[in-house]
Structure 1
Amino acid sequence: MTATQTTAPVDTLGAHLRGTVVLPGDAGYDEARAVHNGMIDRHPAAIARCADEVDVARAVLFAREHALRIAVRGGGHNAGGLGVWDNALVVDLSGMRGVHLDRSDWTVRVQGGATWGDVDHITVAQGRAVPSGLVSTTGVGGLTLGGGIGYLARLHGLTVDNLVEAQLVLADGSSVTASEEEHPDLFWALRGGGGNFGVVTSFRFRSHPVGEGGVVLGGPVLYDVADAGDVIRWYREVLPALPEEISGWLGLLRVPSGPPFPESLWDRPVCGIVWCWTGPHDRGQEVLGELAAYGSPLLVGMHDMPFSQLQSAFDGLYPPGYQWYWKADFYDQITDEAVHAHQRHGSRPPTSLSTMHLYPVDGAVTRVPEDATAFPHRSGGWAGVVVGIDPDPGNRELITGWSRAYWEALRPSAAGGAYVNFLMEEGADRVRAAYRGNYDRLARVKARYDPDNTFRVNQNIPPHRGETSP
C-alpha cells in the first residue's frame, strides 16, 4: 500500500458533506495537500474541505469508522506541516473564516479556519485588536491553541489569556463549548495544549483598544551586524523596563532586497529591533525617540500606521512553498555566553531569509500563574527561534545545518522547553519539556476527552489517567 492508497471508501465521504472532498488524482489534489513549509511533501488519503461544524463532525466520525488517521488543518501555517499526513483524512477548516465583532461587549467570534489578517480586518477598523502573533497569514486556530505571543502580549497577555470560550468537535463527533463555566478542564487544556483535544470550529476572544483608533507607532531600527553584541546587551536591559504599551522583538537577519529598504542596505546582515507602541501617540513618540537615539542605527523606520499594516509587514517576504527549518527554546535571560553565540552564528545567515528572533514574554504574561493555563512559560524572558529559510530545496542541508548549530550554541542558556508553536517533529521529550509541570494534567484531560488518541497528528500528548504520566 502506498502513501496515497487506503482501503477506506474515501470517495463516498463527499456525499455526506456540504463542503467538498479532494482525492488523489483530482486536478486540485497537489494544491490542496501543499502546506506553507515546502520541506513537507505528504500525501493524504483525502482532504475534506469542511463548510461548517456538521461537516467537521461527519469527517471525524468517518475517519474513526474507517480507521483513518486525522490531520486537522486551519487557515494558516505550521512549522512541522502537521496539517497534513500521509494516508490520513485531512479535516480542512480553511473555508470556515467568518469573523464577527460584538459591539455590546467587544468580544470577537472567529471560525477555526480564519487567519489573523481576517480578524484584524474587522477589529482594527473599530480601533481594537485581539492579542495575536506577528504575521497576518498565521492561522487563528494554531496560534491560539499553542499560546499566542505577539506585540500586545506585554500589555494584554497571550492570545490564550484573552480566550473567552471555544466550540469544538470531540473524537466521538459531539460538539461542546469549553469556557470557565462549561468543561473548565478542557478550557484550561485548550489554552496552550495544542490540537490534542478536538477540532476547534470557533473561538471567542476579548478585544482591546489599540493605538489611537487602530493606528500605532512602530517599525524597524536596524544596526550594523558588527554592533550586534552591544545592541543585544542594551536590549536585554532596556526592554523589561519599558512601559507595557511598547513591545519589540530582536532579530539577526539580512535586509530584504526591495522597497521600502534603501538599495544600499539590500541583503546586508544586520541586527534589527521591530518596535510597536500601542498607547497614546504623544507619549509614544517620546519613548520611541529615546530608543531610536541608541547607538548608530543604519535605518530608523518607525512611523504611524494601522496595526494591521504592522501585522502584515512581513507577509510578502514569506510566500508559501519556501523551505523552512525551525529550532527554538525559551530563555529566562540573555546571558553573555548567549550574546557571543549570537555574534558567531547570527552575524552570517546562510541565505537571504534565514534569521533568528527573540520575542519578549513578560509584563501581563507573567501576571498569570504558571498553572492557570496549559501554557506554562510565565516567569519572563524571551521565546527564541532560529529559522533557516530558502526557496531552493537544494539548500535544505545548508539551512538545517546552520539552524541546528546556532541552536546548539544557545542551549546552555536555555530555560528548558520551547514554544510549542515553533516545534517541528522533535519527539516526545521535547513536547513534554514544552509543557513543564502542566504536562501530566494535560495527559489526564486528554484521557477524558480523547482516550483513543484520535487527534495525534500534532505535538502529541498521549492520554494517561494516572496521577503521573508514564
Structure 2
Amino acid sequence: MEFELGIMMDPSAVAREDTAADLARQAEAGGLDLVVVRADEGGVTAGFDPWTAAVWVSGATERIQIGVSDSWTAASEGGARPEGAAVPGAAPAVADPEVPVPSVVEKARESLARLAGPRLLTRGGWVVAPDDAGRADLTNLAGDGLPVVVPVRSRDDVARLVDMVAQDGPAVGPRRTTAARALRRDGIEYDAVPRSLLGTAVEPGDRDYLAVSSNYLRGGAPGIVLRPETPDQVADALAFARSHTHLPLGVRSGGHGVSGRSTNDGGLVIDVGRIHRVEVLDETRRLVRIGPGATWKQVAAALDPYGWALGSGDYGGVGVGGLATAGGIGLLGREHGLTIDHLRAVELVLADGSQVRATRDEHPDLFWAVRGAGANFGIATAFEFEVYDVGDVGWAKLTLASTDIEKSLLRFGEVAGAAPRDTTVFLVTGRPRQGQSGIQLYAIVDSPDPQVVVERLTPFLDLGTLVQQEVYLARYKDIMGQAADVGPDGHHGQGEPVSRSAFLPAITPEYAHDTAELLHSGRVFFFELRPMGGAIADVPAEETAFTHRTPAFQVTAMGVDQADLDARWDRLAGHFDGLYLSFDTDQRSERLHDAFPPPVLGRLRDLKRRYDPANLFRDNFNIDPRGSSGATRDDERGRE
C-alpha cells in the first residue's frame, strides 16, 4: 500500500482465545505498520492500563510501530477531556481512582519511549477507520498523510487487513513508518536507493541504526548506511554515492579505523562488513581469499587448521579491508613483513562502478597503489593472500613499572632493535602517575620452545620493575581471538579520536628525552612503539605505495585535543621520517607529504586522475587529482 496501515485494539475487548500480543505479532508478521493500544470510553481498559499493555505489546514484537490512545492523551492533544479528568498543572484529582493522573501518564509515556525507542509514535497521530472499512475507504482516509488504523478484536480482523497488504505483492525493502521517515536527513534521495540495497539499507529511524552509526573510536550520525553483500551491490552503492557527491562518504569494513572516516554526520556510509567469507583457493601454494568485512580474528581461526597464519596488526577485531590497503604492522612483522607484502591479488570496485582484478600482471599500477594508499582508489571486495606456516608461538603480556621513562624508552630501542627476527615486542605506556610510568609489553616469539621464548624476552625486563607477567605457548588464532566480538548492537564509539603517528629511524637519547617530556606533560594518555625492521625492510621501497621500509619503529600517540597534540607532536618532527596514515587524525595537507615522498605522491596523483578523476573517494587523507604531479612540497601546501 502507498500508506501506513495498522490496527487499534482495546486489550480487554480482544477475543477470548487471543491476546493483544498475539494480534500484534500477527500484524507485524503480515506487514502492517502500526499497533495502537486504546483505552475504553471511560479512559481505562477494564483491568488493563493502556501504557502497560503497550509495553507488553512492544516486548512481544520487533519492528512494528507502537501507539497509545487514552483519555488523557486525547485531551492533551486537543480532544475533549472527560468529566473529572485532571487539569494540566493542577493538583491531581484523587476522588476517582480511574481518572488518569498527568504525571503518571507522562512517566508511562517516557518509560515506553525508552523501551520501544523509535518505534513509539510520538507525533503526528493517526486516523481511525470504521471496523469494516474497505480498501477504497482506507485510501481516502490516508489522504492527509497520516497512518490509518482499523479497530480489531480477533485474528480474523487482522487477517482481513493483512490480505489487503498482500495484494500489493512482497515489499522490496522495509516499510518505514511516518516517525522513522521524519528522522531522515536533508540532501539524501532515500527513494532513489538502488533496489538491490533496499532490504539492508539503514536509516536514522530504523531499529538497527544505533548498531551501525558509530565505529570503534568515533561517534557518528550518518544519513544512510548501505550494506552491500556482493561486488555488484557495491557498484550500486557507488552509483548512489556518485549522485550524492555533496555528502561525506565513508567506507567501512570492521569499523576500527583511527584515521578513517568509516562514519560521519549526515552523510553516506558504505559498509562491506557482510562480505566476509574466508576460503582456501590453493592449499599447496597456501593461497587464500578473504572478504574485506572479515575480522582478523576470523581469518586466524580459519587458517589455524592448516597450520597457517597471516600477520595482522595487534587486535583481532580489526576488519581486513582497511588494514590490508594501508600496510599492516603486526606482531609477526619482523619475521614475515607487512600484511600487504603477502597480497597477491585484490578485486576492486572503482569510482565509476567498474570491477577490476589487480595483480602484478593485471592492472599492476593499481596493485602498487592499493598496497599503502588503497582508500583513494576503490572499494576492495576480495583479497588473495599467500600465507605462511606458523605453529605454536610464545605469547607474552608483561607489565613493568619505571621511575625513569626516558631511560626505559632508550633501553627498549636497544633491545628491540637487537632482537632476532622471530621476536616482535610492542610497547605501550601513557601518563606517569605518582612518579612512575606503567609499561605494557605485548610480544610474540615465533618458537614452540619455552626456553627460546624466555631467552628472547629476558632482555626486555631491563625496562623497569616487573609487576605482572603472562607468558605461555599459544596458537596465533588464540592471540587474535582475545578480541571481543562485536555483537548485534555494534560499536559504541563517541566523539572523535585524537591521534598522531610517525615512523622513527631510531630511538636516540634525544628522542627518548623529548618523548619523556611529552609523556610527563600529561597530555598523552596512550603511547605505542611498534618495532619494524627485519622482513619489513627486505621489501624494496618502490615495490608498494607504502614506501617507508627502513625506519626501526612506528610510533603513535593519542590525546584529547587535536590542536594541542599537533603542536607538541610538531616539535618532535625532527626525529621522524614519514608517518603511517592509519593512526593519524591530523587532517592538515602536510600529512599527505609525510606519508608519501614526492615521487610517490606524484605517481599516486597520476593514478587518481585516471581511476577517480571526480575524486569520489576523498574523505580520508585525500590524494586530490587536481594537484600537480611535479609540484614541490611548498607548492602543494600553498594550493591544498
TM-score tier after normalising by the smaller chain length: 0.7 to 0.9
- Other-structure match for 2:354: 174
- Tell whether 2:474 aligns with 1:305: yes
- Other-structure match for 1:392: none
Q: Is the 8 A contact 1:253 1:272 kept in 2?
A: no
More displaced, 460-469 or 270-279?
460-469
Match of 1:297, SS state, is strand
- Tell whether 2:565 aligns with 1:413: no
Q: CA deviation at 1:63?
A: 2.1
Q: Is the 8 A contact 1:18 1:51 kept in 2?
A: no
Of 609, 614, 622, which aligns to 1:460? Answer: 622
- Other-structure match for 1:51: 229
Of 570, 576, 595, which aligns to 1:434? Answer: 595
- Any stretches of 5+ residues in structure 1 without a counterpart? 256-264, 389-395
Matches within 5 A, 1:91-170: 91-102=270-281, 103-170=283-350
Q: CA deviation at 1:409?
A: 5.0
Q: CA deviation at 1:65?
A: 3.5
- Tell whether 2:189 aligns with 1:9: yes
Q: Is the 8 A contact 2:188 2:244 kept in 1?
A: yes
Q: Is the 8 A contact 1:36 1:78 kept in 2?
A: yes
Q: CA deviation at 1:25?
A: 2.3
- Other-structure match for 2:445: 277
Of 516, 536, 548, which aligns to 1:377? Answer: 548
Inter-partner Cα distance in structure 1 for 2:484 and 2:506: 29
Cα deviation digits, residues 212-242 of structure 1 (max 9, x gap): x3x2102122221314333322221122222
Q: Is the 8 A contact 2:295 2:317 kept in 1?
A: yes
Match of 1:448, SS state, is helix
Inter-partner Cα distance in structure 2 for 1:65 and 1:296: 59
Q: Is the 8 A contact 2:394 2:474 kept in 1?
A: yes
- Other-structure match for 2:393: 216
Q: CA deviation at 1:308?
A: 2.7
Q: CA deviation at 1:282?
A: 5.1
Inter-partner Cα distance in structure 2 for 1:254 and 1:28: 38
Q: CA deviation at 1:292?
A: 5.3
Q: Is the 8 A contact 1:19 1:49 kept in 2?
A: no
- Other-structure match for 1:259: none
Match of 2:257, SS state, is coil
- Other-structure match for 2:115: none
Q: Cα–Cα, structure 1 residues 371 and 45, in superposed 2: closer, same or farther, change >3 Å?
A: same
Matches within 5 A, 1:293-332: 294=462, 296-313=465-482, 315=484, 320-321=492-493, 324-332=497-505
Q: Cα–Cα, structure 1 residues 429 and 275, in superposed 2: closer, same or farther, change >3 Å?
A: same
Q: What TM-score results when the alignment is normalised by the length of structure 1? A: 0.85
Inter-partner Cα distance in structure 2 for 1:125 and 1:297: 35
More displaced, 274-283 or 451-460?
274-283
- Other-structure match for 2:557: 386
Inter-partner Cα distance in structure 2 for 1:158 and 1:384: 16
Inter-partner Cα distance in structure 2 for 1:101 and 1:167: 16
Work out which of the two has the higher radius of gyration on C-alpha atoms and give 1 or 2.
Answer: 2
Provide the alpha-carbon RMSD of the alignment.
2.9
Q: CA deviation at 1:271?
A: 2.0
Q: CA deviation at 1:80?
A: 3.5
More displaced, 150-159 or 19-28?
19-28
- Other-structure match for 2:172: none
Inter-partner Cα distance in structure 1 for 2:237 and 2:300: 30
Q: Cα–Cα, structure 1 residues 435 and 116, in superposed 2: closer, same or farther, change >3 Å?
A: same
- Other-structure match for 1:258: none
Q: Cα–Cα, structure 1 residues 3 and 278, in superposed 2: closer, same or farther, change >3 Å?
A: farther
More displaced, 287-296 or 370-379?
287-296
Inter-partner Cα distance in structure 2 for 1:240 and 1:292: 11
Match of 2:466, SS state, is coil
Matches within 5 A, 1:55-74: 55-67=233-245, 69=247, 70-74=249-253
Of 393, 408, 414, which aligns to 1:231? Answer: 408
More displaced, 243-252 or 26-35?
26-35
More displaced, 105-114 or 320-329?
320-329
Cα deviation digits, residues 407-449 of structure 1 (max 9, x gap): 345333222x210101215222212221124111111111111
Q: What TM-score results when the alignment is normalised by the length of structure 2? A: 0.64
Match of 1:274, SS state, is strand
Structure 1 segments, 4+ long, off by >6 Å, are: none
Q: Is the 8 A contact 1:68 1:89 kept in 2?
A: no
Q: Is the 8 A contact 2:326 2:581 kept in 1?
A: yes
Aligned-partner residue type, residue 332 of structure 1: P
- Tell whether 2:506 aligns with 1:333: yes
Q: Cα–Cα, structure 1 residues 76 and 23, in superposed 2: closer, same or farther, change >3 Å?
A: closer
Match of 1:195, SS state, is helix
Matches within 5 A, 1:189-204: 189-204=369-384
Match of 1:21, SS state, is coil
Q: Is the 8 A contact 1:110 1:203 kept in 2?
A: yes
Q: Is the 8 A contact 1:132 1:159 kept in 2?
A: yes
Aligned-partner residue type, residue 145 of structure 1: T
Match of 1:371, SS state, is helix
Cα deviation digits, residues 117-148 of structure 1 (max 9, x gap): 11111113332111211111111111111111
Match of 1:217, SS state, is strand
Inter-partner Cα distance in structure 2 for 1:54 and 1:68: 23
Inter-partner Cα distance in structure 2 for 1:112 and 1:370: 25
Q: Percent identity?
A: 31
- Other-structure match for 2:613: 451
Cα deviation digits, residues 165-220 of structure 1 (max 9, x gap): 1001011111000110100000000000131001101111111112xx3x210212
